[in-house]
């Protein structure tokens, strides 16, 4: 026997090889038989008889209709509570102050998500076998009007959240952060939500260009009693695009900021502990808002305000995973993917990766599938969580 510790303590790769054996195949078998039923047996020359004539499932990856991970499209959103996770697109970019195009984010993310299988090697998770996922399509946003779009977004997210399905949003620019949290707060009663915000930008100013733009969501979200500013954690902030009026608000409201240097010097584990402690102190659940631009601009060119010097993808994914493992997550949004500025779909692919990793960690931490509706969800809808804004 070698003295190399790798042989005594199984490596991640060795553990992954073992874990795969324990994953069921029933979801895959159901997909194949449904594909054969709906899509007809393949032509006689095809030897592999799991293949159908019309593509009806995961394969082939270049074919099919673009829902997220080719999940079933749920046309009747009143049925959303029958699923563990609901993907919803929010194609809104009227809150953008520089590069537009995030209205195409949901389509871009869905399209490249077809590249993925539902299985992750290191994590030992197969989403098809372990949770039910649907794609409810997009919120009907109003391109010329942020406030009307916000009303649509809050109503849509409140509906999904109250159903008990775990909401995952495909943005959209970051102005949607306010109406999404407002939708959650409408069904929290007297419970509270912490916000963990991955970004290069603080997004805490009251207005920008005289409107509630994508630089403003957390000013308005943390005005709501259900979303205290002291439970807002902001990870990866820094660089030359942080408006001073937003910095003043962070200082006054005592939000919890870590720069990229803070995170790398304290280490991912300590940064995760900081985020977990601050976001969960006195709260009942945590909303995760992931701006794709928290990652170094070299990896995510297709975004509204690219800023060099951000997190490496593996740092961001590790930090996200460690946080999700230890907090009661009530939903996730991934924002600021702008396909018209993207190169080889790499920014949209990063967003897909963030979402799939998040789902895997929710499975591994026992948060999905849900055994029952979380106690912080209140059936009754309180429309008065925020004050009128003009």
Give the footprint of Mn ion on this chain (CB under 5 A): 199, 201, 291, 293
Q: Which is nearer to Mn ion, 174 or 187 (CB)?
A: 174
Q: Which is nearer to Mn ion, 74 or 176 (CB)?
A: 176
Burial class (CB in 10 A: 0-12, 13-18, 19+), 37: exposed
Q: Are 99 and 347 a contacting pair, CB within 8 Å?
A: no
**What distance in Å separates the CA atoms of residue 24 and residue 180, rounded to the nearest whole number?**
35
As measured in angstroms, the least distance from the Cβ of 40 to Mn ion is: 47
Burial class (CB in 10 A: 0-12, 13-18, 19+), 51: middle
Q: In the bound complex, which residue of the shown chain has the CB atom lying closest to Mn ion?
A: 201
Q: Which is nearer to Mn ion, 199 or 342 (CB)?
A: 199
Q: What share of the chain is helix, strand, coil (3-state, %, to 5)?
A: 40, 15, 45
SS3 of residue 376 by DSSP: coil
HEC readout, 335-358: ECECHHHCCCCHHHHHHHHHHHHH
As measured in angstroms, the least distance from the Cβ of 177 to Mn ion is: 10
As measured in angstroms, the least distance from the Cβ of 172 to Mn ion is: 12
As measured in angstroms, the least distance from the Cβ of 174 to Mn ion is: 6
As measured in angstroms, the least distance from the Cβ of 212 to Mn ion is: 15
Q: Are 208 and 215 a contacting pair, CB within 8 Å?
A: yes
Half-sphere exposure of residue 224: CA atoms within 13 angstroms, side-chain side: 33
As measured in angstroms, the least distance from the Cβ of 113 to Mn ion is: 22
As measured in angstroms, the least distance from the Cβ of 178 to Mn ion is: 14
Q: Which is nearer to Mn ion, 213 or 355 (CB)?
A: 213
Q: Which is nearer to Mn ion, 98 or 140 (CB)?
A: 98
User: Quick count: other Cβ atoms within 10 Å of Cβ 64?
Assistant: 15
Provide the terminal-to-terminal Cα distance of the chain, rounded to the nearest Å. Answer: 73
SS3 of residue 2 by DSSP: coil
Q: Which is nearer to Mn ion, 93 or 291 (CB)?
A: 291
């Amino acid at each position: 026997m070698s003295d190399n510790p790798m042989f005594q303590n199984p490596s991640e790769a060795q553990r992954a090889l073992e874990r795969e054996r324990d994953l069921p195949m029933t979801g895959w078998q159901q997909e194949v038989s449904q594909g054969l039923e709906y899509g007809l047996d393949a032509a006689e020359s095809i030897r592999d008889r799991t293949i159908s004539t019309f593509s009806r499932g995961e394969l082939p990856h270049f074919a099919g209709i673009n829902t997220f991970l080719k999940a079933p499209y749920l046309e009747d959103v009143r049925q959303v509570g029958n699923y563990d996770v609901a993907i919803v697109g929010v194609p809104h970019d009227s809150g953008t102050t520089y590069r537009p195009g995030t209205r195409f984010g949901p389509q871009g993310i869905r399209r490249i998500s077809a590249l993925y299988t539902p299985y992750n090697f290191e994590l030992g998770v197969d989403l098809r076998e372990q949770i039910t996922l649907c794609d409810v399509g997009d919120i009907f946003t109003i391109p010329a009007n942020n406030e009307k779009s916000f009303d649509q977004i809050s109503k849509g997210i409140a509906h999904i959240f109250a159903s008990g399905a775990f909401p995952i949003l495909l943005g959209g620019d970051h102005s949607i952060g306010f109406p999404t949290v407002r939708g959650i707060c409408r069904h929290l009663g007297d419970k509270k939500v912490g916000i963990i915000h991955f970004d290069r930008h603080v997004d805490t100013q009251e207005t920008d260009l005289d409107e509630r733009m994508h630089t403003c969501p957390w000013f308005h979200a943390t005005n709501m009693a259900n979303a205290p500013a002291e439970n807002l954690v902001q990870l990866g902030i820094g660089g030359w695009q942080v408006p001073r009026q937003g910095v003043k608000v962070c200082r006054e409201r005592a939000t919890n900021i870590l720069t990229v240097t803070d995170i790398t010097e304290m280490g991912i584990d300590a940064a995760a502990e900081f985020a977990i402690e601050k976001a969960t102190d006195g709260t009942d659940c945590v909303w995760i808002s992931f701006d794709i631009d928290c990652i170094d601009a070299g990896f995510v060119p297709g975004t509204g305000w690219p800023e060099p010097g951000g997190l490496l993808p593996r740092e961001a994914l590790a930090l996200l995973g460690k946080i999700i493992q230890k907090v009661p997550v009530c939903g996730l949004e991934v924002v600021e993917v702008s396909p018209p500025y993207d190169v080889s779909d790499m920014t949209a692919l990063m967003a897909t990766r963030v979402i799939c990793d998040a789902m895997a960690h929710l499975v591994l931490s026992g948060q999905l599938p849900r055994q029952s509706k979380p106690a912080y969800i209140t059936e009754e809808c309180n429309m008065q969580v925020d004050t009128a804004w003009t």
